[in-house]
Structure 1
């Protein structure tokens, strides 16, 4: 019951200009089996989109929330959906 899913997370706090996207990509690659991207938004948040097995997406989401990230995470919102595909690896945008 580890079907593929799409996680979209919005991370707020001091998460731009601190290497947050790079660390998010590195952690997604460490977890393995995930494709997607991390993107700085104009309002100061970082959007993370990850597709892959639910268990691995949940592991990435937990990492985003633990505080073991660069900068300072004040909160993470997320939505779950079905994968859309079209990603080649995990990118920084």
Structure 2
């Protein structure tokens, strides 16, 4: 992350990464389960959508666990750099 980015930007960027990662991972898991069963394309897309939505819900609940420490660490490193110059 850029040094000039503020803590809110880092927090939101980290949270967005968690949202996308969990949604994609859960959708891929659902697609793999459907492919293993051998269901049709409608079931494939339905399970992928349901998996993505479930992943997004988990990320909304748990994303702050990654986002807050990232923002705090960024804030600390920016302050440390400013103090050393």
More strand by share: 1
More helix by share: 2
TM-score (normalised: structure 1) = 0.29
